[in-house]
Each structure stands twice: as C-alpha cells, then as structure tokens.
C-alpha cells in the first residue's frame, strides 16, 4: 500500500504573513499537492498530514524563530489542503516526521510500504523524513513539483542527495 505524506503545509510556513514563510515556492505547491490529495482519496489510499507543532520554549527555536506553536492558527494546515475525515494527522516537533512520533507504527499497522512525500522544506523536513523512511525500509517517491524550499540551491542539493544517496525516486510530476 502506498500513502501520501503532506509535510508542513501549515499557515506559518505557507502564508506570506506566517511566522516562518518559506516564500512563493510554498504557495505555488498548493495546486499540485491538492491534485495529489484528490487522487489518493479517490483511489482510497491513505493521506497522512505531518504537521510541525511546537511548545513555547522548543529547542528548535535556537535555530529558527518561533513558529507553529500549539493552539495557534499558524500551526493549522492551509485551508486549501485541509484534512478531511479519514485522513491521518501526525504532530511532530523535529525535522523528521518519524522522530518521536507515531508515524512508523501507524504506517506498519496500515500495511504501508511506499511513501510519496510532498510539502516543505525540501532540504529540511522532507529530506530528513526521506532519510528516516529509507533507513526504515520504505520505498520513497518525491514528485519535484510537490516540494519547495526558501533556499533554491538547498532545494536542488536535497533532491540530488535523496536521489543519489538515499535511493529516493525523484519524479518530474506527482
């Protein structure tokens, strides 16, 4: 079974007024990710949202300005991609969607062995999630038009690392 992961498509990252706006590249992902979500739902395949959700004094704020604080609108998925009944939402506090979360257990319980990763940022949460997924033995696909970063050169570097080092299938389309 193949699942779609929608990573950090949250108001604080995607909206220009967000606390840690990743730039136009994030907003530009919405149509392609929306299409992927519709396709997975219509095929009755799992759609799993992975969402940054921080506490007030989170250690990550030594690296980045405070963002996605629990209980704030900034931590919610952008309205255009809002989760529906039947979708799974996993909260995370670190870059990898697997670190300190129920993601691996959830995937195993549902018999999922293949992941399609979408969202932001290519070189941070997508890359470290891809690394853990590959270490755990999942097949991983990353559609190029469904990931973005505030840093274009880091975006390209991360796609190359995922393809050449992690064995991720990097696809032109979703």
As measured in angstroms, the least distance from the Cβ of 97 to Zn ion is 12
Integer Cα distance of 49 and 75 in angstroms:
12
- Tell me whether residue 112 or residue 126 sits nearer to Zn ion (CB atom): 126
As measured in angstroms, the least distance from the Cβ of 90 to Zn ion is 14
Q: Which two tokens stand for residue 116?
A: 């399609």
- Tell me whether residue 8 or residue 112 sits nearer to Zn ion (CB atom): 8
The footprint of Zn ion (CB under 5 A) covers: 52, 60
Contacts of 73-78 with C-beta under 8 Å, sequence gap 24+, read: 73/11, 74/10, 74/11, 74/12, 74/18, 74/19, 75/10, 75/11, 75/12, 75/51, 76/10, 76/11, 77/6, 77/9, 77/10, 77/11, 77/49, 77/51, 78/9, 78/10, 78/11, 78/14, 78/15, 78/30
Give the DSSP letter of residue 38: H
Assign 3-state DSSP to the chain and report helix, strand, coil percentages, each to 5: 40, 20, 40
Measured from each CB, the residue nearest to Zn ion is 52
As measured in angstroms, the least distance from the Cβ of 140 to Zn ion is 21
- Tell me whether residue 20 or residue 107 sits nearer to Zn ion (CB atom): 20
As measured in angstroms, the least distance from the Cβ of 12 to Zn ion is 9
- Tell me whether residue 74 or residue 174 sits nearer to Zn ion (CB atom): 74
- Tell me whether residue 12 or residue 33 sits nearer to Zn ion (CB atom): 12
As measured in angstroms, the least distance from the Cβ of 36 to Zn ion is 23
């Amino acid at each position: 079974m193949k699942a779609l992961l929608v990573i950090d498509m949250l108001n604080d990252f995607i909206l220009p007024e967000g606390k840690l706006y990743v730039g136009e590249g994030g907003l530009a992902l919405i149509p392609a990710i929306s299409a992927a979500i519709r396709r997975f739902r219509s095929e009755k395949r799992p759609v799993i949202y992975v969402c940054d959700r921080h506490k007030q004094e989170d250690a990550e704020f030594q690296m980045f300005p405070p963002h996605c604080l629990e209980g704030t609108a900034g931590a919610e998925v952008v309205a255009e991609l809002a989760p529906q009944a039947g979708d799974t939402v996993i909260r995370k506090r670190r870059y990898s969607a697997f670190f300190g979360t129920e993601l691996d257990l959830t995937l195993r319980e549902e018999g999922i062995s293949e992941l399609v990763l979408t969202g932001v940022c290519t070189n941070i949460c997508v890359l470290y999630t891809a690394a853990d997924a590959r270490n755990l033995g999942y097949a991983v696909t990353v559609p190029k038009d469904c990931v973005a970063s505030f840093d274009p050169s880091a975006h390209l570097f991360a796609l190359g690392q995922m393809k050449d080092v992690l064995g991720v299938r990097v696809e032109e389309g979703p």
